[in-house]
Amino acid sequence: MEWIIAGAAVLVAIFVIVVYNSLVQSRNRVDNAWGQVEVQLKRRYDLIPNLVETVKGYATHEKDTFEQVTQARSNAQAASGPQEQAGAENFLTAALRQLFAVAEDYPELRASENFASLQADLADTENKIAVSRQIYNDTVLTHNNRVQQIPTNLVAAVTGFETREFFEGGPEAEEAPSVSF
């Protein structure tokens, strides 16, 4: 009888260890996927000052637009967590749309090689953000399922694993800023 109890205890311990390790792996995948999103967002933030300066050279009287883009970029850089980040990114996307609308009024700006290069870089970055966001959300879905499903939810509850937030944007996030003329 003692062997049966000892054997059952060993099996339960092995189960808890395996489930715990799989939850750690899942959490680390979410953190890694979020890091990839942050890399792409940083790339976007790095492109914006160059884009603003290029447009400023042609459209000097659009001060409010430049200030809105700059403020939106600062807010996005300061945001933390997927939900706050998503809201800040939506605001930044709207500000960039306004900047590109201003640029449409300046044919010489649209013809500028520097502006065209920045447009291409930003379009590429927007695509990479969308892909990174999708990968992150897929990873969060997998993690959240593990944390919420029986029997892993029992180990997750005892060891402090929690569900993670999705990186969801509003309608603005569904469509990248238009960067082609």
Look up the CATH architecture of domain 2-174. Up-down Bundle (1.20)
Q: 171 falls in which pLDDT band (50, 70, 90)?
A: low
Q: 180 falls in which pLDDT band (50, 70, 90)?
A: very low
Q: Of 7-11, 71-75, 132-136, 170-174, which range is least confident?
A: 170-174
Taking only the tens place, the pLDDT of each residue in 125-164 is 999 999 999 999 999 999 999 999 999 999 999 999 999 9
Q: What angle do CA 154, 25, 43 make, to 5 degrees?
A: 130
- Determine if the pTM surpasses 0.95: no
Domain ranges of the chain: 2-174
Report, as an integer, the average pLDDT of 27-51: 96
Query: 44 and 129 in contact (C-beta within 8 Å)?
Result: yes
CA distances from 81 to 31, 106, 165 (A): 11, 38, 8
State which H helix or E strand residue 11 sits in: helix 2-58
Report, as an integer, the average pLDDT of 163-176: 72
Taking only the tens place, the pLDDT of each residue in 15-26 is 999 999 999 999
Report, as an integer, the average pLDDT of 155-181: 74
DSSP string for residues in 68-133: HHHHHHHHHHH--SHHHHHHHHHHHHHHHHHHHHHHTT-HHHHT-HHHHHHHHHHHHHHHHHHHHH
Distance CA 86, CA 108 (A): 34
Report, as an integer, the average pLDDT of 154-175: 83
